[in-house]
A = this chain, B = another copy of it.
Amino acid sequence: MTDTQFDVLTVGNAIVDIIARAEDDYLARENINKGAMNLIDADRAEHLYAAMGPALEASGGSAGNTAAGIASLGGKAAYFGKVSNDHLGTVFTHDIRAIGVHFDVAPLVGAPPTARSMIFVTPDGERTMNTYLGACVEFGPEDVDADVVANSAVTYFEGYLWDPPRAKDAIRLCAEIAHQNKRQVAITMSDSFCVDRYRDEFLQLMRDGVVDMIFANEAELKSLYQTGDFATALNAVKADTALAVVTQSEHGSHVVTRDATVKVSAHPIDKLEDSTGAGDLYAAGFLHGMTTDRSLEECARIGGLAAAEVITHVGPRPQVSLANLLAQSGI
């Protein structure tokens, strides 16, 4: 994986997070599915914001967080996603470029506005997202810069991109360009409800070789194979992809290839503050390891290290240099 301009291109819904603490009974009262990414329309967004506690705003979006993590680790990252030319679009663009990610997709001019996700963090540190997709619905193949795809060792995209209407066309185009250039393509399963919405399509992407590797957490993998048994799901995935990276929160992660499964413990933390970005940063660490020729076990450990940083503070992206943390970690 040399002679590339970028280690990883990530593609996703470009979102600014609006983050507040909330109690579990608030989620119940508002009929919000805890732990999930709930899609909402503009009216619901207004209703929830009015009922929301005091908030912080921070650039987010799953693949955006992953790109930020790779840049923070010292890797070369690029990002595709759609914002509008409004205040939140300016914030998103500033933040992703400021951390060192190449981001040059033309913003939408006018409505709909830049996407935002209202994230409620419950006392257990779990995050529950309520996402208004806004400008993301306009993302399509015309936003794909073929040179960037061709020059990225890995193209990584969100399963969430199956929600807006034309993003999946952009992803199919990216995968084609990537494979023509002997690059790799990765998908994250994003959310167990998202897997439930697009299970057959995701399995087909794996079986057709449109993707070369997948990232999933335990709930997503179980949803993918419609089983309540984790071991069954772990075993099933071997038949469908050459590399599956499966996270289990505080129980660590599993790297599953056709020949073997490597189990790695979670990185120890003092206190879980906000789980937002945990999976995104794990993927950042894993992909950074891959693109710097680390062993699969080391990739998983770097993933755990990056995830540990992001869950010990409020906000979905690293607040300190992950390159420094990695250097100090001895991994």
Residues of chain A having any CB pair with chain B under 8 Å: 20-21, 49, 52-59, 68, 86-88, 91, 94-96, 98-99, 313-315, 317, 319-320
Contact of A54 among B49, B56, B68, B88 (CB under 8 A): B68
Q: Does A54 lie within 8 Å of B99, measured CB to CB?
A: yes
Identical copies of this chain, number: 2
Whether B317 contacts A54 by the Cβ 8 Å rule is yes
Bound-state CA distance A20–B58 (Å) is 11
Residues of B close to A317: CB separation below 8 A: 54
List residues of chain B with CB within 8 A of the CB of A21.
319-320
Residues of B within 8 A of A99 (CB): 53-54
Residue of chain B at shortest CB distance from A18 = B91
Contacts A87-B86, A94-B49 hold; do A58 and B59 have CB atoms under 8 A apart? no
Cα distance A56–B318 in the bound complex, in angstroms: 11
In contact, A95 and B313 (Cβ under 8 angstroms): no
What is the bound-complex CA distance between A195 and B237, given in angstroms?
A: 66
A196 to chain B, nearest CB (A): 33
Given contacts A21-B319, A52-B98, A320-B21, contact A91 B313 (CB under 8 A): no
Chain B residues whose C-beta falls within 8 Å of the C-beta of A58 in the assembled complex: 56-57
User: Nearest CB to that of A318 among chain B residues?
Assistant: B54
- Residues in B neighbouring A313, C-beta threshold 8 A: 313-314
Q: Which residue of B lies closest to A315 (CB)?
A: B56
Shortest CB distance A271–B (Å): 10
